Amino acid sequence: MTTGTVPQDVKEYLSVVRARLDDLPAEERDDLLADVEPSIVDSAEDSDAPVALRLGPPESFADELRAAAGLPPRAEGAAGAPRVGLTERLTDAYRYFATSPATGWLRDLAPLWWVLRGVVVVGLLELLMDQSVVEGDDGYAFLVALAAALAAVVSIAVGLRRPRRNGAIVVVNVMLALAAIPVLWNAISAGHAAVFDNAVVTEAPVQEPPPGLAYQGSPVENLYAFDREGRLLQDVRLFMQDGGPLELGGQDPNRRPVRTRGGRLALNAFPIRYFEPGTKQVADPAAGAPSSPGRLTTKPLRP
């Protein structure tokens, strides 16, 4: 078979068609193309229009040829197919997305993606700076919203300019689509936090420590003081570093009241003692205290 008179553009067109059919058995593909080649050459002679304009993209031509011949659709990544780089695959996918009638409705949604793309860029920056709108003030939130709106407008402008579809743009788009997941997640959880915060602010803004005295998180209900000799002291009055009385508990009708000379109730006198219900008697003045902590051997301090 002579191919000497095949025009260059037809040759190139056919080589793309051939590559597109590379997952078919060699014999099958050669038979199919042996049929097509002379016909395309002849039809090219009958027309001045470039071959790709008359026949459409070579990939579509190959797919239509295959479908009409009753052959299975192209198996991507089939054995024997040449290895294709990621960018090329993405570009292929993009080309399919950009030209196939099946994805027409998706293309109609492109402006929506442009807006989302712009917002995602700002959201991603915010995420990387580890700052959430919730933490900042209203002014900061406004700035972020403004930046997002600006980015959306710029993104739409870029989309409308319809730049040449190349691998890099496809990669950037795919990366932004992936970045949309954490950004949206962050936005959603931040939204929840904002709602939660607003709901709580009116009631209890900060977690208050429990009332009373606590030792390592557990409430202290009573205190027992012993002197050097290991004797339990009664009515020891305790004060804090600022001179304030260390008062514990409240006025309980059964609590034995300890009063100062002026008649003031001393709620800082320990141990706190309780009367037997209905009487004015403390049944056991040593109740609840450790039996005997023992005497001290260190020499006493003299004031």
Give which of 188, 194, 192 is closest to 138, Cα–Cα: 194
Q: Is 36 a binder of other proteins (CB under 8 A)?
A: yes
32 forms part of the interface with other proteins (CB under 8 A): yes
The answer to the question of residue 34 lying near other proteins (CB under 8 A) is yes
Longest dimension (CA), the chain: 128
Contact indicator for 84, 148 with CB cutoff of 8 Å: no
Interface pick for other proteins out of 13, 20, 21, 40 (rule CB under 8 A): 40
Least Å distance, CB 102 to other proteins, is 14
Binding range to other proteins, per CB under 8 A, among 28-36, 123-131, 192-200, 205-213: 28-36
SS3 content of the chain, % helix, strand, coil (to 5): 50, 5, 45
Q: Is 3 in the site for other proteins (CB under 8 A)?
A: yes
Output the smallest distance, CB 70 to other proteins, in A. Answer: 4
List Cβ<8 Å contacts ≥24 apart for 118-121.
118/148, 118/150, 118/151, 118/152, 118/153, 118/154, 118/155, 118/156, 119/148, 119/151, 119/152, 119/183, 120/176, 120/179, 120/180, 120/183, 120/184, 121/151, 121/155, 121/176
Q: C-alpha distances in angstroms, 139 versus 133, 134, 142, 146, 194?
A: 10, 11, 5, 10, 15
Is the CB of 6 or the CB of 238 nearer to other proteins? 6
User: Per CB under 8 A, which region of 18-26, 56-64, 150-158, 263-271 contacts other proteins?
Assistant: 56-64
Query: Quick check: 252 binds other proteins (CB under 8 A)?
Result: no
To the nearest whole angstrom, how small is the minimum distance from the Cβ of residue 20 to other proteins?
A: 11
Task: Choose one: 55-63, 130-138, 168-176, 222-230; the region binding other proteins (CB under 8 A).
Answer: 55-63
Q: Does 29 bind other proteins (CB under 8 A)?
A: no
Interface residues toward other proteins, by CB under 8 A = 1-3, 5-6, 31-32, 34-43, 55-56, 60-62, 64-71
